[in-house]
């Protein structure tokens, strides 16, 4: 299910470009912010190890 996070990032980035092209800068800023949050979330999940904590 990792592709869902990357799909969200891609969709937000493309939507931001579309809104920039239309001149709707408020929505473009919102989509860029969502893309950044998505990227932070992807990097955070990628950095953690899946091993259980030691007793």
User: Cα separation of 33 and 27, whole Å?
Assistant: 10
Domain of 33, in residue numbers = 2-43
What is the predicted pLDDT for the residue at 10? Answer: 94
Task: Give the contacts of 33 (CB within 8 A, at least 6 positions apart).
Answer: none
Give the position of tokens 């969709």. 11
- Does a structural domain hold residue 55? no
Which DSSP category does 23 fall into? Answer: T
- Does a structural domain hold residue 52? no
- Does a structural domain hold residue 32? yes
pLDDT, one tens digit per residue, over 11-44 is 999 999 999 999 999 999 999 999 999 999 988 8
User: Cα separation of 39 and 11, whole Å?
Assistant: 12
């Amino acid at each position: 299910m990792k592709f869902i996070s990357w799909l969200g990032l891609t969709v937000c980035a493309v939507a931001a470009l579309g809104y920039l092209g239309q001149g709707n800068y408020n929505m473009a800023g919102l989509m860029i912010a969502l893309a950044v949050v998505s990227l932070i979330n992807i990097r955070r999940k990628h950095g953690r190890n899946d091993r259980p904590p030691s007793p």
